[in-house]
């Protein structure tokens, strides 16, 4: 019998690290009291399996990273965009488990409305506790302590959609010239985006470049 707090009979896990994915599956199976997990390795597979589970009228929880072994952050954000309507309709729940540290990128994830965002560096009991909160019918996204601490840095600060696009591309380790080509803009425009974001964060450009290199 499932513990009273665990209200799902299917949990889809997408994690680029094999042993991390296996560990998450074991964790949710243990708390569910029976095998409920299903591991996938790409967003396309996750979307397909989600459609199958919904068609089978399963109570579905998705636990996903924002990148896969072959897909960059933009694909993860696109996945959240694609499932937003289903999320808002309450057809399933989504928990994002991410290593992102940039507050603007995290704010972009929050704007897409997953039920929970938890940082990978936090203890597993934080993840379990936040899964419990997915039972709530409110549409507010629950944030883990580390995530909340990071986004507090940019509360009230807004960046343009193009500046955010530049920032997302930086997670793919592209230089300014390559980024500008990808965005269809001049090199100097890409440099302006970088300068404005560093100003918003109140850090030197070199420090920001170092942080971006670790994304």
pLDDT tens figures, 156-172:
888 999 999 999 999 89
For residue 4, name the pLDDT band (cuts at 50, 70, 90): low
Both structure tokens of 62: 């998705």
For residue 3, name the pLDDT band (cuts at 50, 70, 90): low
* Model confidence at 137: pLDDT above 80: no
Q: Which of 4-8, 59-63, 99-103 has the highest mean pLDDT?
A: 59-63
Q: Which residue has the tokens 């419990």?
A: 132
Predicted pLDDT at 24: 94
Predicted pLDDT at 215: 63
Q: Which residue has the tokens 């019998």?
A: 1
* Model confidence at 62: pLDDT above 80: yes
Count, residues in the chain: 215
What mean pLDDT comes out for the span 116-144? 89
The pTM of the full predicted model, rounded to 2 decimals, is 0.90
Q: What is the mean pLDDT of the chain?
A: 91
Predicted pLDDT at 144: 96
List, in order, residues 6 or more apart from 2 with CB less than 8 Å away: 9, 32, 33, 34
Predicted pLDDT at 192: 94
CA torsion angle 55 61 67 73 (round to 10):
80
Burial class (CB in 10 A: 0-12, 13-18, 19+), 141: middle
Give buried/exposed letters for 9-19 (b at 16+ CB in 10 A, else e): bbbbbbbeeee
* Model confidence at 95: pLDDT above 60: yes
């Amino acid at each position: 019998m499932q513990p009273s707090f665990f209200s799902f009979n299917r949990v889809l896990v997408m994690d680029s690290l094999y042993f991390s994915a296996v560990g998450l599956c074991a964790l949710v199976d243990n708390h569910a009291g029976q095998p409920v997990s299903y591991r996938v390795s790409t967003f396309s597979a996750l979307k397909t399996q989600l459609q199958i589970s919904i068609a089978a009228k399963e109570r579905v929880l998705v636990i996903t990273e924002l990148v896969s072994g072959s897909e960059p952050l933009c694909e993860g954000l696109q996945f959240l965009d694609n499932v937003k309507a289903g999320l808002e309709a309450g057809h399933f729940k989504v928990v994002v488990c991410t290593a992102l540290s940039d507050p603007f990128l995290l704010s972009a994830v929050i704007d897409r409305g997953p039920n929970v965002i938890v940082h990978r560096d936090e203890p597993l009991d934080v993840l379990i506790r936040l899964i419990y909160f997915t039972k709530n019918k409110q549409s507010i996204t629950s944030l883990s302590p580390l995530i909340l601490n990071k986004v507090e840095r940019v509360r009230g600060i807004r960046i343009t959609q193009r500046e955010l696009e530049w920032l997302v591309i930086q997670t793919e380790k592209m230089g300014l010239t390559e980024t500008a080509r990808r965005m269809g803009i001049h090199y100097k425009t890409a440099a302006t985006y970088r300068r404005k974001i560093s100003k918003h964060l109140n850090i030197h450009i070199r420090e920001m470049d170092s942080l971006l290199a670790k994304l």
